[in-house]
Amino acid sequence: MTLGRSSTVRELFKCFSPLYCAALWGQFETVKHFGELCAGLQANNFCGGRAREVASHYYKMDCAEYLTWAKAKQDLKSYITHVRDTIDDPEKVQGKLNKEDKNICTNTCSAKLDWIQNTKNSSIQDLIGQCLQDIIIPILSELTTQREKDY
């Protein structure tokens, strides 16, 4: 039984994602569920707003804080994927990384993914603290430096 609201809901979801609506209405458990699925964390509504922004604007602070945390977690996972893809791409590497550097990148990425999966109550600061850049950037910069020298 839809009580005549199904067309209204359909129209609403054309302009706003379900995550956006849940954040707007302060439905923390729903927001958390979408966050666990990484569903639309970066999606913009038709005006360019994001779920975290609307939650913060309407003082749904538990939703806003959770979405900030979920974005930090997703950003870390995305960076790990980027690093793995880069070191596994023969065209990008072209023999410019030695085996030790490649192993450092692989082992660091694996350790960070394990940490993400095994740490259930991490804070935003914990996620930011897991940043790989201190270890990875010097190694990946060798690829860029070598590429620039080749031209």
Give the C-alpha separation, 15 to 80, whole Å. 32
Q: Are 139 and 105 in contact (CB under 8 A)?
A: yes
Q: In the predicted model, is pLDDT for residue 47 greater than 80?
A: no
Q: 102-135 burial string, b = 16+ CB within 10 Å, else e?
A: eebbeebbeebbeebeeeeebeeeebeebebeeb
Q: In the predicted model, is pLDDT for residue 150 greater than 80?
A: no
Q: In the predicted model, is pLDDT for residue 129 greater than 50?
A: yes
pLDDT at 1: 44
In this prediction the pTM is 0.77
The average pLDDT across 132-140 equals 80
Domain span at residue 130 reads 6-150
Q: Identify whether 1 is part of a domain.
A: no
The number of domains in the chain is 1
CATH number at residue 42: 1.20.1270.10
Q: Identify whether 70 is part of a domain.
A: yes
Amino acid at 19: L
